[in-house]
């Protein structure tokens, strides 16, 4: 089984699939093997064909538009990008091109996928990330980076993060933290963050699942620790976000 330390990897095929807007805690690098992956990042429509790499930054809202494609996806913790960037005297957070057509990068991603020995794997990781930073760093931040947050909504967002693993967290409690009625809060939250509070909450819980999967443990226990009522609920939500079950992940 391929292994890449704290970089999670998955090989997936999709037929006429779409995924609702969501975010990731770290960087998401997706190498398209076949077909065309159509997607939108912060509302901007893009596509990537065979041999191309799609990049999503941490907490960047993105969605998959109806597409048929096959890919290798690499979930890279933010620290794995920022640590070499600092060593190379680059500014952080690191901003990368969002669609990359680079045969060398594609080969390095394929090489990492096949590495099994720890020494080989670590070298493949480092050369891939350094190449990415040297060749594909952007100087212009996405428009969303500079948008100021409404203070009351930000208080509610922080509350959601703090209580995301409580299965009984309610819309009423979130709205109360923002000092709004629940219906006004729902509308304002979606307007500000691009998703409903419930969808935002589920995204946090699924990120929790991915972190714990990397550490090992039973799916049933992980489900409870990440705020799901049971394993079935967790698996259904996970598949909704990623199009595959946790068992498809290589770590």
Nearest one of 135, 7, 161 to 79, comparing CA atoms: 7
| 209: confidence class by pLDDT, cuts 50, 70, 90 | very high
Distance CA 222, CA 63 (A): 26
Encoding tokens for residue 160?
């959601």
90's tokens? 């680059």
Residue with more model confidence, 117 or 97 = 97
Tell me how many degrees the CA angle 152-158-162 measures, rounded to the nearest 5.
Answer: 145
Rounded percentage of the chain residues whose pLDDT exceeds 70: 91
Task: Encode pLDDT of 159-173 as tens digits.
Answer: 999 999 999 999 999
pLDDT of residue 144: 46
Rounded Cα gap, residues 86 and 92, in angstroms: 7
* Domains of the chain and any CATH numbers: 8-143 (2.60.120.810), 148-250 (1.10.10.60)
- The dihedral formed by the CA atoms of 245, 10, 56 and 52, expressed in degrees to the nearest 10: -130
User: Do 40 and 63 meet the contact criterion of CB atoms below 8 Å apart?
Assistant: yes
Predicted confidence (pLDDT) at residue 143 exceeds the cutoff of 70: no
DSSP per position, 180-206: S-HHHHHHHHHHHHSS-HHHHHHHHHH
pLDDT score of 73 more than 90? yes
Quick check: 145 pLDDT over 60? no
Answer for the pair 8, 250: CB distance below 8 angstroms, yes or no.
Answer: yes
Q: Compute the distance between CA of residue 109 and CA of residue 144 in angstroms, rounded to an integer.
A: 28
Is the model's pLDDT at 149 over the cut of 70? Answer: no
């Amino acid at each position: 089984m391929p292994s890449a330390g704290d970089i999670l990897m998955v090989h997936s095929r999709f037929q006429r699939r779409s995924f609702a807007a969501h975010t990731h805690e770290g960087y998401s690098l997706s190498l398209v093997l076949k077909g065309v992956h159509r997607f939108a990042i912060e509302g901007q429509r893009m596509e990537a064909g065979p041999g191309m790499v799609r990049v999503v930054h941490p907490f960047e809202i993105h969605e998959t538009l109806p597409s048929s494609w096959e890919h290798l996806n690499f979930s890279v913790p933010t620290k794995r990008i920022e640590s070499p960037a600092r060593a190379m005297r680059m500014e952080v957070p690191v901003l990368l091109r969002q669609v990359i057509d680079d045969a060398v990068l594609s080969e390095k991603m394929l090489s990492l996928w096949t590495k099994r020995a720890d020494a080989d794997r670590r070298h493949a990781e480092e050369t891939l990330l350094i190449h990415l930073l040297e060749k594909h760093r952007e100087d212009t931040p996405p428009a969303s980076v500079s948008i100021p947050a409404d203070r009351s909504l930000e208080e509610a967002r922080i509350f959601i993060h703090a209580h995301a693993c409580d299965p009984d967290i309610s819309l009423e409690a979130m709205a109360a933290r923002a000092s709004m009625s629940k219906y006004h809060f729902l509308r304002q939250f979606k307007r500000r963050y691009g998703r409903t509070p419930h969808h935002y909450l589920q995204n946090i819980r699924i990120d929790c699942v991915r972190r714990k999967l990397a550490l090992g443990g039973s799916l049933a226990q992980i489900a409870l620790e990440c705020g799901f009522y049971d394993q079935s609920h967790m698996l259904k939500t996970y598949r909704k976000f990623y199009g595959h079950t946790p068992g498809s992940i290589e770590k």
